[in-house]
Structure formats: structure tokens, C-alpha cells
């Protein structure tokens, strides 16, 4: 098995990765981690969409390319016992949540727990050295649930207050946050505009505040189905859907393994898997449900991907 790489997922429209279950007043809720309640995108959903992209990309090419899809993602369902796919795709965990802000329109919000979880994955992918001045001691800068760590001149604004939704937080500053945000921006975004925006809008809050925001700052919309003749709502056809908001940033780990078919090792070695799949791991993709109403447009970027 090869060393993993990070795959960043940038939501370009609201992202609905549902669970098929209702929670409270929300009929179609998004997937959440059982222990932390932080949203995530299931690896099975991400891998399925990647497989569709690979099929479409290679649709008009020769048989060997069709075989490549089988090697990377595994055979179709009826032949699933032949061998597993060479590409291992983990769940995409939340890293930065866009939250409405009085200053700067919105802020990309994260917390010490999310950052340290990301650092663990970055260390596994061997890119932690590419993230200088990782804000060690961020817990000390956001001791209570009434404070936040922000870049000077960013979302704190001239009034030196960080205001999200109904939360009024007192900002503290750490010079290394600017350096870290700049390095992270180069990993997540290809365009300089977005890289610079992240350095201005990043904000670190207490884990408890992050839990509150992840539960109350998501996108919830009412959906209805109308009767064609009366133009009124059909019985039972009013429901509420939850989505991660546009500009959400998630991160997944991508790994490769040797695959064996009936006891024989396949020709595709693990070191070649990521290289072969790189074309599918950088670029636009549709993830989650509700594609026909514009949900789930995302941009993928593999760590160390093209600038």
C-alpha cells in the first residue's frame, strides 16, 4: 500500500450528502459523525461519483481504458467477487465551514479539533511540512466559547468583534495564523484569488462553538411538489432538506493497494494507481444528491495537484 494523499473537496453549490433519515424537523438531513455530529461526505458516495467521472472520461476510449476503471474502482456489482478496486477513498471530513459574518460577508470557520484531525491526515500524507507555522496552542487562544482566533484586518473588522449569526465573539490574534492560512490556501485552491481570500477570512473558534455552528449554520430549504392541475401542494409533498453551504471545504484521504484477481496480482502496481487516477481526482464533479436542481457541484484538488 502506498502513502496516502489528501483530496480537498470545495463545494461550489450546496452539498447534500444525505442519510435517508429524518432528524427533528428536517426530513432529509446530511450525514453526520455519530460522536461529534460534525458533517461529512461518506467515502462510498465520493468513490461512486469518481467512478462515474472515470467512466464518462474514458467512454470513447479503447478497451484497455475500460479495464482501467475496473482496476481502479473494482468490477460491477454482479462480478464484485473477482477483486477489490485498487483505489481506497476515505470519508471526506469537514475542515472549513462558511458562516455568515457581519464583516467580510462570510468567514471560513474551523476549530482546534478539526485542525488537529486535519494535521493527523496531513502527517499521514507527508504534507505537514508544507504547512508552516501550524497554529500550535490554538486551544490557548480560544480558551472560552466567547473568543475566536482571527487574522488581523479579517472578519474581526475595525470594531474588533467577530459576529457570526447570533454569536458575538472577542477576537484574539496570532501571527502564525496568517502564515498557516496562506500555506493551506495553496493546498486547497489553485487560484490566487481564493488563496488570498482564505488568509483574510479564516477564523478558529472553540470546539463547542464549532459544534453549534455545524448544527445551525447549514443550508435548510423547504421543497414541495405541486399538483399539475390545481397547482397546490400534493398531500404529504412538503419536506425540508439540509445541505452543507456553498464554499464548504472537506478533506479525504486517498490511498492505493495492490489488487489480486483469483490469486494473481494485477498488473497495476500501487505506485501507479494514484498517477493513473490523477485525472479523475482533479477537476469538477457532482457529489451527493439533488443533482438536477444544481446541488453538489464541487471542485476536487489532490494535494500537490496542478496549480
Whether the pLDDT of residue 90 is over 80: the answer is: yes
Predicted confidence at residue 186, as pLDDT, reads: 93
In the chain, what's the furthest Cα-to-Cα distance? Answer: 67
Whether the pLDDT of residue 176 is over 60: the answer is: yes
d(CA 162, CA 110): 14
Predicted confidence at residue 267, as pLDDT, reads: 53
d(CA 304, CA 6): 9
Per-residue pLDDT band for 263 (boundaries 50, 70, 90) equals low
Per-residue pLDDT band for 25 (boundaries 50, 70, 90) equals low
Question: Per the confidence metrics, is the pTM higher than 0.85?
Answer: yes
3-state helix, strand, coil in the chain (%, to 5): 30, 30, 40
**Average pLDDT of the chain, as a whole number:** 82
Per-residue pLDDT band for 166 (boundaries 50, 70, 90) equals confident
Whether the pLDDT of residue 131 is over 60: the answer is: yes
d(CA 144, CA 170): 10
What percent of the chain shows pLDDT beyond 90? 31
On whether the CB atoms of residues 204 and 177 are closer than 8 A, the answer is yes
Q: What confidence tens digit (pLDDT) does each residue in 216-258 have? A: 898 888 777 776 777 776 766 777 888 899 999 999 999 888 7
How big is the chain by its Cα radius of gyration, in Å?
21
What percent of the chain shows pLDDT beyond 70? 80
Predicted confidence at residue 300, as pLDDT, reads: 95
Three-state SS for 89? strand
Q: Where are the alpha helices (DSSP H) in the chain?
A: 43-57, 63-73, 112-124, 138-141, 175-188, 192-201, 207-216, 270-277
Q: What confidence tens digit (pLDDT) does each residue in 35-71 have? A: 999 999 999 999 999 988 888 887 756 555 677 888 7
Predicted confidence at residue 289, as pLDDT, reads: 79
Least confident of 87-101, 151-165, 217-231, 255-269: 255-269
Contacts for 295-299: CB closer than 8 Å, 24+ residues apart? 295/13, 295/14, 295/15, 295/16, 295/243, 296/11, 296/13, 296/14, 296/15, 296/16, 297/11, 297/12, 297/13, 298/9, 298/10, 298/11, 298/12, 298/15, 299/9, 299/10, 299/12
User: CA separation (Å) from 82 to 58, 63, 259, 266, 300?
Assistant: 22, 18, 10, 11, 30
Question: Mean pLDDT across the stretch 270-283?
Answer: 78
Whether the pLDDT of residue 78 is over 60: the answer is: yes
Per-residue pLDDT band for 80 (boundaries 50, 70, 90) equals low
Look at residues 110, 89, 268, 237 and name the one whose alpha carbon lies nearest to residue 181. 110
Predicted confidence at residue 226, as pLDDT, reads: 75
Whether the pLDDT of residue 119 is over 50: the answer is: yes
Question: Mean pLDDT across the stretch 7-18?
Answer: 92
DSSP annotation of 108: E
Question: Mean pLDDT across the stretch 7-33?
Answer: 81
Whether the pLDDT of residue 198 is over 50: the answer is: yes
Whether the pLDDT of residue 158 is over 90: the answer is: no
Helix count and strand count (H, E) for the chain: 8, 16
**Cell numbers representing residue 198 in the block:** 482564505
Least confident of 125-134, 192-201, 268-277: 268-277
Predicted confidence at residue 140, as pLDDT, reads: 57
Predicted confidence at residue 307, as pLDDT, reads: 45
Amino acid at each position: 500500500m502506498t502513502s496516502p494523499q489528501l483530496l480537498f473537496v470545495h463545494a461550489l453549490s450546496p452539498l447534500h450528502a444525505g442519510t435517508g433519515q429524518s432528524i427533528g424537523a428536517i426530513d432529509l438531513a446530511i450525514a453526520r459523525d455519530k460522536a461529534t455530529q460534525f458533517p461529512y461526505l461518506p467515502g462510498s458516495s465520493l468513490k461512486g461519483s469518481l467512478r462515474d467521472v472515470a467512466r464518462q472520461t474514458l467512454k470513447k476510449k479503447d478497451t484497455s481504458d475500460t479495464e482501467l476503471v475496473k482496476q481502479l474502482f473494482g468490477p460491477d456489482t454482479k462480478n464484485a467477487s473477482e477483486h477489490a478496486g485498487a483505489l481506497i477513498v476515505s470519508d471526506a471530513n469537514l475542515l472549513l465551514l462558511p458562516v455568515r459574518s457581519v464583516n467580510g460577508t462570510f468567514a471560513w470557520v474551523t476549530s482546534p479539533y478539526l485542525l488537529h484531525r486535519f494535521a493527523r491526515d496531513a502527517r499521514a500524507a507527508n504534507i505537514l511540512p508544507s504547512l508552516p507555522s501550524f497554529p500550535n496552542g490554538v486551544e490557548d487562544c480560544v480558551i472560552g466559547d466567547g473568543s475566536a482566533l482571527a487574522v488581523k484586518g479579517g472578519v474581526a473588522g475595525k470594531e474588533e468583534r467577530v459576529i457570526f449569526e447570533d454569536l458575538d465573539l472577542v477576537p484574539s490574534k496570532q501571527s502564525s495564523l496568517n502564515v498557516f492560512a496562506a500555506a493551506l490556501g495553496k493546498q486547497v485552491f489553485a487560484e490566487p484569488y481564493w488563496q488570498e481570500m482564505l488568509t483574510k477570512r479564516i477564523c478558529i473558534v472553540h470546539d463547542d462553538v464549532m459544534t453549534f455552528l455545524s448544527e445551525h449554520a447549514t443550508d435548510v430549504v423547504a421543497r414541495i411538489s405541486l399538483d399539475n392541475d390545481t397547482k397546490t401542494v400534493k398531500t404529504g409533498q412538503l419536506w425540508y432538506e439540509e445541505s452543507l453551504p456553498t464554499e464548504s471545504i472537506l478533506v479525504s484521504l486517498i490511498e492505493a493497494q495492490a489488487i489480486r484477481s483469483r490469486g494473481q496480482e494485477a498488473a497495476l502496481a500501487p505506485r501507479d494507481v494514484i498517477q493513473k487516477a490523477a485525472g479523475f481526482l482533479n477537476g469538477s464533479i457532482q457529489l451527493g444528491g439533488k443533482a438536477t436542481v444544481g446541488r453538489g457541484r464541487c471542485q476536487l484538488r489532490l494535494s500537490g495537484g496542478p496549480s
